Structure 1
């Protein structure tokens, strides 16, 4: 598989004249299967709200799915049929890009089948579910293994009260006032974009709208609209810190979700006519790459101390905040990042029924250093998205390791990834 991916990287600039796979004896082909794959995903979206994260293919296909969606058992049969058809199509002599296309479709149909089984009532463990949906099996470490990190944070922020209370009190000095959210977010996103376009050529017409919302289980969301356009929403129910403005600007925008979707649309839908990329199923291997690259994009755009410098020079003044303890804030952020995967273990126990809701909230408060309201919101996210949470921390680490193995130009490696059908299994060394 690695040899296929390496060869694929050499073809990413290719135009639409990519050699096609050999049809099977019935005349079936990847193009025909891809059309039926889109129908499958759109119809699953009619059975599960939110399953289709983005669609910008022909509107009549979406209308057909809405008008007459198959039942879940019928869709399970449809996924099995697509798998059989894919396995029957030969990619011999067609080139690595086409072989990767077949692998990509197989992986996404397999993920769709797993989601359909869940909709029909099948129960999976946290790790089994993550692997079935996203193509990567997470390690579930004992929570005690994160205690040394908590000890370091305790030493960094001594005082009375619980550690979570001390962290919340310290971070309160960096909350962006609500009446300055718009100007701070605008500045952060503009800087994320400025740094990205120095390295990645974006479609000339790309743009986004930004809105602040509430009552959501997430902190930010990118709704890709097609034609290189996105609608970015930021949840303003909870405090937004200055460094979070940078995180959200990069993650939801540049070089994160907005750029990823725009490059996929340009590379595959516009230039090659590969219609499978016009639909984005949320619970799929695509999300591991999307969330992982969006999180790694923060470090890529603001390496080292550059994020802190931008906060000091631009965001703190715009927000009217005192930067006197900014270095300690950066130390806290680095340590907190090491706790990211603790919630996998908590989610595993909670979703399996080994701990109740109150215990899960207490553990999230301890290991994510959040107050009760924020920990409760995070549990709401876990209730909604379950094993999807692996795509953030684990996804970032896997993407970072892969990009940095490609060579010293990490932006080039990132652009390669964002313009490809590379799967999570291809990223793992």
Structure 2
């Protein structure tokens, strides 16, 4: 090709020789690996480039700059030297000083406080959400409409995050294009579901799920280092979170994940403990936890092998998805068999947990072992199934769309199941004394 023709092609494409084509933002930004003094931002562009983040503590002082080395399509930039519990505004840009986002309250985050700080904490949990349907959008809007002023501090994904097979395209269509606003403001903490695992592998940490998310392996956000992104822990204020992989990691009682969980809970000093994983230990919805072979035995194995560890570590709430319904237990402890083996002594409070009905569930302060936990199945954030809802540990079961909102305020945790029209379909309180 002669030089004159090559120059003409550059001109027609709007790119001068030696310059880089202006990139377009295809994904994100989204927040990962939050810590009191750092935050990771990720995004995707249509062409390789050097990614830059400008940031500051007000919209008019977005002058600090960070970038990653090399030229990438999937950009990962860590902002370091931040202040705890501080709002930062940010915008994305390129090496040519072209900005990809505006400076506004939509592109802002608040760093976590120093671990152990007692302050209000809001958690949003969605399960089996990524269907790309009207149901998913309605559930999202129900949450947005009710909590518009303060969406969340912590965002949990309970697995089956991107149907049908957890491919990169599925994540783009059913996750990133649906929850853009939340991604820009609230760090997300996922767990692996069976549909995500169709294209991901936990032993090798490979596949779209592990490519998309940046998760702690070294205890960067609190908790004991797990050495893997498949399961991990993190802290936010006075709440300790434990994410387990019920799908694709060894679930034996003496395996690496179980050993790590014991060590992490033994080291924990936070006031509250929330655990989450995909397969529910108790369900009579679209899955039956009494059937030994349901989901390859995963429900039964998590119940037998991990609930004893969690309850010995003082867990307060255990969240799961997989069953496309909503189910919520009484305050229970020590039930590791089938529903026919439930003893009266295993139900520590048979009430509703509703302060305005028969009173909140009460526990002693701290993380004393075996003082009761509430188990919630929230697998209806994108579609609903059906079920008998007759497991004796459950206080309520609903074939309704919705998501979970957890509000921690000192010694009180208020949990709501919020429907697709923003209505509160269930609620309960745990109070520590």
- Higher RCO structure, 1 or 2 (CA under 8 Å, sep 6+): 1
TM-score between the two structures when normalised by the length of structure 2: 0.27
TM-score between the two structures when normalised by the length of structure 1: 0.27
Q: Normalized per residue, which structure has more helix?
A: 1
Q: Normalized per residue, which structure has more strand?
A: 2
